[in-house]
Structure 1
Amino acid sequence: MIGSSTVISAWDGNQLAGLTRVIDDGEMLAYMHWVPVNPKYQGMHVGSGLVERVKERYAGYMFLEVMPKESKNAPFYQRHGFTLMEDGRAMQIVTRP
């Protein structure tokens, strides 16, 4: 995907189950753009697996951020260690003080 720093996908044979796209600055900040999961695979931890792989990939970065499209998705990210930022919409993990 053009403009992405990292794209991680999950496959079931030749069927795309989900993917995530990350944009980063090369050393300190990574922004996870979205984590769409094929409806057929929702509830099967595909999204969780993708988020955890992104966290592993960017463990050395100071910030990993995401902005859920809908507020109902915030608990999903909170289960993966993200906290709401001061503006109340974006969420981030701070790995280094």
Structure 2
Amino acid sequence: MIRYQQGNNLNLDAIIELYRASTLGERRPVEDRERMAAMLQHANLVITAWDGEKLVGIARALTDFVYTTYLSDLAVHQAYQKQGIGKELIRRTKAATDPRASLTLLAAPAAQEYYPHIGFTHMPQCWRINAGENI
């Protein structure tokens, strides 16, 4: 039975292990503990999924709670994928904000087909300045 909880007071080692076990660690600075701790600390909406005492999923977001939410990380342990955990993490993230607030994310290349399947609309007008680039 998977249980869900809200809050970012979490064990950093468990978070890093989850990112690695979900493959999100390939695109996050998991070797930089200070940066990972800051990413977790500054997220103002974090929903986690647990199988007993084992962390098996996380949705880490930045939000104003009334207009928009940016879902910066969605990670589910590979052994727990395809069980609806990711979808439930997204549902709970959305439910934690005003019903009029939108939810936006940048999909990992391997997840391009997942998000339309669960109801997301593709928005091709996203723009980005990568780390190390300036205006």
Cα gap change, 1:76 to 1:65, in 2 (>3 Å): same
Cα gap change, 1:66 to 1:3, in 2 (>3 Å): same
TM-score (norm 2): 0.58
Q: Matched residue of 1:86: which SS?
A: coil
Unaligned runs of 5+ in 2: 1-39, 128-135
Rg comparison, structure with higher value: 2
User: Within 1, Cα distance between the matches of 2:42 and 2:86?
Assistant: 22
* Greater strand content: 1
Match of 2:117 in 1: 79
Q: Matched residue of 1:78: which SS?
A: helix
User: Within 1, Cα distance between the matches of 2:67 and 2:47?
Assistant: 19
Q: Cα RMSD (Å) of the superposition?
A: 1.9
TM-score (norm 1): 0.77
Deviations 1:17-71 (A, max 9, x none): 101101013421110011111111112211111111112223524321011121x
Match of 1:25 in 2: 64
Identity %: 27
Count of matched residue pairs: 88
Match of 1:15 in 2: 54
- Residue identity in the other structure for 2:45: T
Match of 1:47 among 79, 86, 98: 86
Q: Matched residue of 1:35: which SS?
A: strand
